[in-house]
Structure 1
Amino acid sequence: MKKLSTVFVFILLLKITNLMAQDHKAKILVLIHSDNGGTYELAKEIASGIENSNNATAVIKQVKESQNPKLKNIPVASVEELPSYDGIAFGSPVYFGNISTGMSEFLSKTVNLWTNHALEGMPATVFMSAGSGAGKELALNAFWNTLAVHGMVLVSNGIRGTENINKTIPQGNTVLGVTSMASLKDVERPTKDERELAVLQGKNFAKTALALKGTFTSKQTAVSGIEKSEDINTILKQKNIVLPKVPLPAGNYKPYVRSGNLVFINQVALKDGKILNPGKLGVEVNEQQVKEATKATMLNVIAVLKEAVNGDLNKVKQCVQLTGIFNTKDDYTKHADLMNTASDLVVEILGEKGKHARATLGASSIPVNSSVEIQAIFEVE
């Protein structure tokens, strides 16, 4: 029995020692946006360098989901988690001498972090995948400017490692951070030297992050000061809102069209394969029945929207515009009251993001004898 107790105490001490060692390490996020995988390749080398000294751990995450097979399994970071790290290495493609649209959109969501001083004093470093190499320093500077506004400690690569690179081919080395010139196809990109520079950048950044660990804003304070957006799926469950199946098109058109970050949707009051409360208001149906049809139509719109964002309504940034068209007599004027049903529902589901511009109008008839049709425009990630 005494031997068992001794073994138990030894195992417990071993676990405590291991936990203390883990807590002593710097926890670093390698946060990327990558189009074709070039930035991701550099990110892997940066992460390798970070973990090389055994004084830091690295986790690679991306700012948005990607359909690229190389990238689709990389987890997506949330803005709220950024203050929980001891340092962040930011990676992005170069877009016309600037950071990428995906990275820019993510950083635009960090206003609450800025107002709460959540990233002040945290070390940051940057790396980028360029095309021809033109504009890479300008793009790196744009990255630095954004992070400087947050009060982050910017860690440059300097001329570290440049004495060993192959001078006979163009390389992506800069003093601000490593880059790779992806469009030069004569050699594999990133090159062996670009990868080695990225490893060196990761090693140097890990030392800085470890040295500054615990010296900046308390993680708990930073996170608690940020208003987190509620998960849309949780809201739907709490409010017992069940979305219908996406109605199939009745002609040569699509349930939705996406153009850039905008999604366009048109729906009528189809429910369980039939038009709910069909007919003209004041003739075949009354106002209450039209409101029921309007709710069903808006649920169809949300169901189509969910399909447009691959099942994740949290990717909806804003309901931009709703237009309600009602099958009414010529002298009817209370269209806005009918449309409030749709407006209230979208705000109930999406919160502040559901508030929108709106138009309502009457029509002498609507296709398939529906009492209502709703046209919707949403901005999504």
Structure 2
Amino acid sequence: MASDPTTCYDRLLHRGLALPQVPAPIGNFVHCVREGDLLFLSGQGPVNACGELMTGKVGATVSAEQAYDHAKLVGLNLLSVLHQELGDLGRVRRIVKLLGMVNATPDFAEHPRVINGCSDLFVDILGDAGRHSRSAVGVGSLPGNITVEIEAVVAVQD
């Protein structure tokens, strides 16, 4: 059996994943603020390879499985922001905290399962540095009717 690729970029390539372009902010904010060795990443939404936002209400028009994939897209977008800010994902010391919001019906109860799309990606690509604390909540709506929004706090090394 071949060994697992050694860098996060190798792992992305090995899994057929690519970092998308970082979109322009949709409001009066920046994607990332650094304070000391912490980066605070603004919430990102699920944008596919064609630049389309994934929209809908989880538990009604979008399944938990589809929303999991949307959260994985958000994870790729967050990694893109990190790459743009740091120039090298190898500088990520640890994903400290995620806040995942799911645009869900009132009776939907699988928010953690959805946000696992992002969490699983971070651990797969970043290894132990991708393990984090997390909150996963349901909300009544999200901007543009996107299915998932996730923000992150990241510890970095110079």
TM-score (norm 2): 0.90
Q: Output the amino acid matched with 2:78.
A: V
Equivalent runs, 1:92-103 vs 2, <5 Å: none
Q: Output the amino acid matched with 1:344.
A: D
Shift of 1:235: 2.1
Shift of 1:347: 0.4
> Paired residue for 1:378?
154
Structure 2 alignment gaps of length 5 or more: 1-5
Q: Bigger relative contact order, structure 1 or 2, given CA contacts below 8 A and separation 6+?
A: 2
Equivalent of residue 18 in structure 2, options 197, 217, 242? 242
> Paired residue for 2:28?
252
Q: Deviations over 1:142-169 (max 9, x none)?
A: xxxxxxxxxxxxxxxxxxxxxxxxxxxx
> How many percent of aligned residue pairs carry the same amino acid?
37
Q: Output the amino acid matched with 1:243.
A: L
Q: Output the amino acid matched with 2:12.
A: L
SS in 1 for 2:137: strand
C-alpha contact (below 8 Å) 1:366/1:372 kept by paired residues: yes
Q: Output the amino acid matched with 1:301.
A: L
Shift of 1:270: 2.1
RMSD: 1.5
Q: Residues of 2 paired with 1:267 and 1:295: CA distance?
A: 11
Q: Residues of 2 paired with 1:305 and 1:328: CA distance?
A: 28
Q: Output the amino acid matched with 1:328.
A: A
Alignment of 1:274 onto 2:52? yes
Give the paired residue count: 151
C-alpha contact (below 8 Å) 1:267/1:375 kept by paired residues: yes
SS in 2 for 1:317: strand
SS in 2 for 1:270: coil
> Paired residue for 2:3?
none
Equivalent runs, 1:151-190 vs 2, <5 Å: none
SS in 1 for 2:69: helix
C-alpha contact (below 8 Å) 1:263/1:308 kept by paired residues: no
Q: Deviations over 1:6-30 (max 9, x none)?
A: xxxxxxxxxxxxxxxxxxxxxxxxx
> Paired residue for 2:70?
293
TM-score (norm 1): 0.38
> Paired residue for 2:130?
354
Equivalent runs, 1:1-381 vs 2, <5 Å: 230-265=6-41, 266-271=43-48, 272-276=50-54, 278-309=55-86, 311-381=87-157
Q: Which has the higher helix share?
A: 1
Q: Deviations over 1:35-72 (max 9, x none)?
A: xxxxxxxxxxxxxxxxxxxxxxxxxxxxxxxxxxxxxx
